[in-house]
């Protein structure tokens, strides 16, 4: 099934061919009407093409409208203002579309979905517990992946973990000097983190520690056995911890290659850069200089001591992906501070002549009102702590509202609602705005929040259950009738779901979808307050059951695209 405006477009395109044959026209655009008075959809085709066709846009609009035959979709057309075409849909068409919405799959035929979209997200640096600074990349990335899948793309979710940075030299030094064996036994990653903070503190007093750390790192990179073993252990204990959190957040990756995986490719990358004259020696290091117009700092790709850098690994990553996938595009999610890094290495791969589409999706950093989170400064909120806090808050509310549920059910609902609230609080923000972290805001359960949507979903499930108890279960063979004035806005708004998901997916902006779902839930609640269901005569009852079932399924599918689950009772 296509988006509803695609069916309208077909009718209008036929009319355009008849009315204005053999003309090179700008393609017709159909937009959602900004006001009910202007119908359901609008087109500014006449104004867009008035120069090409010649003549008054209102006259062009009339010629077009006069060539549209009677059809099952359009009820009436009006010409407004300077030449807008206002399109009003037939109730019968809207209701039939709504009925089919959840049984047929959407087709986004205009997208080129060949190949793989590789999405590189979450990507924490090993040996630190994940904190709320990792939240955004993880859940925005997950939602982008889900949106891409919905649009028909094949995705590869890659967790590009930071397992090859300078932190390992420091960790190895810290491990030998300050590790508390018992603490390490109990909670390895917590102890590693402590050791790391210790290193930072000590090295301020004693800067030689930095040199020792660099030596340890070099030894590791040259394959020293002892350091290599330690390094593997750090990765293992870190991933064990991360996977617990990913599981709770319902975030799943296809690969976890990480920076180190590309290490063997890096010398080849340097060779190619040198051969092509792109990397040159500068004070012993190998550096890529950019054209002045690029406005980019030179990029070091290999240090004097032979060590590779973050950029080198990213260039190597592209080489690997180019050779091992049929890349449609690569999408990266990081915070705004990495914009220059991405510009640099994207440019370098272009200079190498590697033709791969890449997008860096950056987002604003989350901070406390008085500063940024930092593991080194020790002022972080751990992700686990945040999820627990969300769950606790949800549990309190459930106890208050629905204490008759079993403890197990309460626990399950609290996990879904608490984590949903947290994800939604982040996803519903404009991606590029900075976020000031406030517990109240992130754990809010009212208004434009996941719990409000989850509650609307559960409310519908409860109505459907009651109907079934009355012997009037939802019946797919019945029709949806649009009669009451509150049924129409709800129904037409429902039909826009695939359009909104497309918009959100193309702009990589999950907040466009949250806005839609919030509006949908509000429209459902308005409808339900004035349109009773269970005490109505059968044809109305069955029609409304079908309508609310579509609302519920759309809420569920929409929330699923955000990585948020639903529950049948709350
Ligand atoms: N590990 C990096 C960090 O924590 C993020 C990696 C992003 N992905 C990439 N291909 N550079 O900052």
CA of 389 to the centre of ligand 1 (A): 27
Q: Is the CB of 563 under 6 A from ligand 1?
A: no
The finding on whether 83 has its CB within 6 A of some atom of ligand 1 is no
Site to probe by mutation for ligand 1, drawn from 331, 334, 344 as the one with most ligand atoms within 8 Å of Cβ, is 334
Rounded CA separation 328/346 (Å): 16
User: Does 311 contact ligand 1 (Cβ within 6 A)?
Assistant: no
The three-class DSSP label of residue 125 is strand
Judge if the beta carbon of residue 346 lies within 6 A of ligand 1: no
For 4-89, CATH gives 3.30.1360.70
- For residue 318, how far is its CA from the centre of ligand 1 (angstroms)? 14
Cα 439 to ligand 1 centroid, rounded to whole Å: 27
* C-alpha–C-alpha distance, residues 459 and 533, integer Å: 13
Q: 503 C-alpha to center of ligand 1: Å?
A: 26
**How far apart are the CA of 165 and the centre of ligand 1, in A?**
11
User: Do 96 and 108 contact (CB within 8 A), yes or no?
Assistant: no
Q: How far is CA 549 from the centre of its chain?
A: 26
CA of 265 to the centre of ligand 1 (A): 18
Atom nearest to 341 CA in ligand 1? 11
Establish whether residue 313 lines the binding site of ligand 1, counting it when its CB lies within 6 angstroms of any ligand atom: no
Q: Is 334's C-beta closer than 6 angstroms to any atom of ligand 1? A: yes
- d(CA 420, CA 445) in angstroms, rounded, equals 10
Ligand 1 pocket, residue 314 CB under 6 Å = yes
Ligand 1 center–CA 334 separation, angstroms: 7
Residue 333: strand pairing partners:
361
Q: How far is the CA of 199 from the centre of ligand 1 (A)?
A: 22
Burial class (CB in 10 A: 0-12, 13-18, 19+), 432: exposed
Q: Is the CB of 566 under 6 A from ligand 1?
A: no
pLDDT of residue 261: 95
For the stretch 30-40, pLDDT in tens is 999 998 899 99
For ligand 1, atom 6, the nearest C-alpha belongs to 123
What is the model's pLDDT at position 372? 66
Do the strands 327-335 and 116-120 form a parallel or antiparallel pair, or are they unpaired? parallel
Per 3-state DSSP, the chain is made up of helix, strand and coil in percentages (nearest 5) of 55, 10, 30
Rounded CA separation 63/68 (Å): 9
Q: Which atom of ligand 1 is nearest the CA belonging to 335?
A: 12
Nearest to 282 by CA among 274, 293, 272: 274
Distance CA 63, CA 27 (A): 17
Q: Where in the chain is the domain with CATH 3.30.1360.70?
A: 4-89
Distance separating alpha carbons of residues 29 and 22, to the nearest angstrom: 19
Interval between CA 55 and ligand 1 midpoint (Å)? 56
- In whole angstroms, give the CA distance from residue 19 to residue 60: 9
Q: Give the distance (Å) from ligand 1 centre to CA of residue 258.
A: 9
Cβ-contact 281, 298 below 8 angstroms: no
Q: What is the Cα 518 distance to its own chain's centre?
A: 17
Distance of CA 206 from the midpoint of ligand 1 (Å): 29
* pLDDT string in tens for the chain (570-residue length): 999 999 999 999 999 999 999 889 999 999 999 988 999 999 999 999 999 999 999 999 999 999 999 999 999 999 999 999 999 999 999 999 999 998 999 999 999 999 999 999 999 999 988 988 899 999 999 999 999 999 999 999 999 999 988 889 999 999 999 999 999 999 999 999 999 999 999 999 999 999 999 999 989 988 899 999 999 999 999 999 999 999 999 999 999 999 999 999 999 999 999 999 999 999 999 999 999 999 999 999 999 988 889 999 999 999 999 999 999 999 999 999 999 999 999 999 999 999 999 999 999 988 777 766 665 566 678 899 999 999 999 999 999 887 789 999 999 999 999 999 999 999 999 999 888 888 888 888 889 999 999 999 999 999 999 999 999 999 999 999 999 999 999 999 999 999 999 999 999 999 999 999 999 999 999 999 999 999 999 999 999 999 999 999 999 999 999 999 999 998
CB distance 511 to ligand 1 below 6 Å: no
CA dihedral sign of residues 323, 324, 329, 333: negative
216 contacts 173 by C-beta, under 8 angstroms: yes
Token pair for 67: 């060539």
- What is the whole-number distance in angstroms between the Cα of residue 198 and the centre of ligand 1? 24
Q: Which one of 158, 160, 310, 314 would you pick to mutate in the ligand 1 pocket, going by the greatest count of ligand atoms within 8 A of its CB?
A: 160
In ligand 1, which atom is closest to the CA atom of 338?
Answer: 12
Q: What is the rounded distance in angstroms from the CA atom of residue 439 to the CA atom of residue 428?
A: 16
Tokens 């995705």 appear where?
A: 155
Instruction: State the pLDDT at residue 570.
Output: 87
What Cα–Cα distance (Å) separates residue 443 from each residue in 184, 261, 301, 439, 555? 32, 38, 43, 6, 20
Closest Cα to atom 1 of ligand 1: 162
Q: Which atom of ligand 1 is nearest to the CA of 310?
A: 11
In short, whether 167's Cβ falls inside 6 Å of ligand 1 is no
Model pLDDT, residue 374: 62
- Mutate which of 126, 136, 162, 313 for ligand 1 pocket (most atoms within 8 A of beta carbon): 162
Cα(162) to centroid(ligand 1), Å: 6
What lies within 8 Å, CB to CB, of 323 at 6+ separation is none
| Alpha helix (H) residue ranges in 158-223 | 167-178, 181-186, 188-205, 208-221
Please report which helix (H) or strand (E) contains residue 341, including its range.
Answer: helix 339-351
Per the listing, tokens 């159909």 go with: 30
Q: If you write DSSP's letter for every residue of 253-283 in order, what string do you get? A: -SB--HHHHTGGGHHHHHHHHHHTT-EEEET
Ligand 1 atom closest to the CA of 334, numbered from 1: 7
Burial of 404 (0-12, 13-18, 19+ CB in 10 A): exposed
For residue 542, the Cα-to-chain-centroid distance in whole angstroms is 36
Q: With a 6 A CB cut-off, is 332 part of the ligand 1 pocket?
A: yes
Spatial distance between the Cα atoms of 234 and 227, rounded to a whole number of angstroms: 11
| Best probe residue, ligand 1, of 122, 164, 320, 338 (max atoms within 8 Å of C-beta) | 338
User: Is 22 in contact with 16 (CB distance < 8 Å)?
Assistant: no
Q: Report angle CA 349, 350, 356 to the nearest 5 degrees.
A: 80
- Residues 6 or more apart in contact with residue 521 via CB below 8 angstroms: 452, 453, 456, 555
Of 252, 249, 250, which Cα lies nearest the Cα of 119? 252
- Strand pairing class (366-368; 435-436): parallel
- Which two structure tokens, joined as six digits, stand for 298? 């030179």
**What's the gap between Cα 59 and its chain centre?**
44
Q: How far is the CA of 123 from the centre of ligand 1 (A)?
A: 5
DSSP letters along 83-124, please? TEEEEEE-HHHHHHHHHHHTTS----TTS---SEEEEE---P
- Mutate-to-test residue for ligand 1 from 119, 123, 144, 156, highest number of ligand atoms within 8 A of CB: 123
Asked whether the beta carbons of 151 and 260 are under 8 A apart, the reply is no
């Amino acid at each position: 099934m296509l988006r509803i405006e695609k069916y309208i477009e077909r009718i209008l395109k036929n009319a355009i061919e008849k009315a204005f044959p053999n003309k090179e026209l700008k393609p017709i655009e159909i937009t959602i009407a900004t006001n009910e008075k202007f119908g359901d959809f609008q087109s500014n085709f006449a104004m867009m093409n008035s120069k090409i066709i010649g003549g008054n846009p209102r006259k062009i609009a009339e010629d077009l409208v006069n060539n549209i035959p009677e059809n099952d979709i359009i009820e009436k057309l009006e010409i407004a203002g300077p030449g807008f075409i206002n399109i009003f849909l037939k109730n019968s068409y809207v209701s039939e579309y709504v009925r089919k919405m959840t049984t047929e799959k959407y087709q986004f035929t205009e997208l080129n979905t060949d190949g793989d979209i590789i999405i590189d997200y979450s990507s924490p640096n090993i040996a630190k517990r994940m904190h709320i600074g990792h939240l955004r990349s993880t859940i925005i990335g997950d939602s982008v992946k889900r949106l891409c899948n919905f649009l028909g793309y094949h995705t590869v979710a890659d967790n590009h973990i930071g397992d090859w940075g300078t932190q390992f030299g420091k960790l190895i030094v810290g491990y030998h000097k300050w590790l508390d064996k018992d603490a390490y036994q109990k909670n390895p990653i917590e102890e590693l983190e402590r050791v790391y903070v210790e290193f930072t503190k000590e090295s301020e007093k004693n800067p030689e520690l930095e040199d020792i750390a660099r030596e340890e790192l070099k030894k590791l990179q040259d394959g020293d056995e002892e350091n290599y073993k330690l390094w593997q252990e750090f990765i293992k204990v870190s991933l064990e911890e991360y996977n617990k959190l990913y599981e709770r957040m319902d975030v799943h990756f296809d690969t976890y290659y990480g920076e180190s995986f590309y290490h063997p490719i890096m010398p080849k990358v340097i060779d190619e850069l040198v051969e092509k004259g792109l990397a040159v020696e500068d004070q012993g290091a190998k550096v890529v200089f950019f054209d002045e117009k690029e406005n980019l700092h030179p990029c070091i790709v290999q240090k004097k001591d032979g060590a590779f850098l973050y950029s080198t690994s990213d260039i190597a990553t592209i080489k690997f992906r180019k050779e091992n996938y049929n890349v449609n595009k690569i999408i990266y999610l990081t915070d705004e501070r990495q914009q220059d890094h991405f510009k640099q290495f994207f440019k370098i791969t272009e200079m190498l002549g590697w033709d791969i589409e890449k997008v860096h999706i950056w987002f604003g950093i989350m901070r406390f009102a008085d500063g940024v989170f930092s593991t080194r400064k020790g002022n972080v909120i751990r992700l686990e702590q945040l999820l627990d806090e969300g769950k606790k808050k949800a549990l309190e509310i459930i106890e208050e509202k629905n204490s008759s549920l079993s403890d197990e059910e309460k626990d399950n609902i609290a996990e879904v609602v608490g984590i949903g609230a947290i994800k939604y609080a982040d996803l519903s923000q404009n991606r590029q705005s900075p976020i000031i972290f406030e517990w109240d805001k992130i754990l809010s359960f009212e208004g434009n929040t996941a719990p409000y949507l989850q509650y609307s979903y559960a409310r519908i499930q409860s109505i459907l259950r009651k109907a079934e108890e009355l012997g009037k279960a939802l019946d797919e063979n019945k029709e949806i009738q649009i009669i009451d004035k509150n049924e129409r806005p709800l129904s037409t708004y429902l039909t826009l779901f695939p359009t909104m998901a497309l918009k959100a997916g193309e702009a990589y902006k999950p907040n466009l979808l949250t806005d839609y779902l919030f509006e949908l839930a509000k429209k459902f609640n308005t409808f339900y307050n004035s349109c009773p269901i269970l005490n109505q005569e059968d044809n109305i009852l069955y029609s409304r059951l079908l309508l609310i079932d579509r609302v519920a399924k759309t809420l569920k599918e929409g929330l699923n695209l955000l990585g948020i689950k639903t529950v049948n009772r709350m």
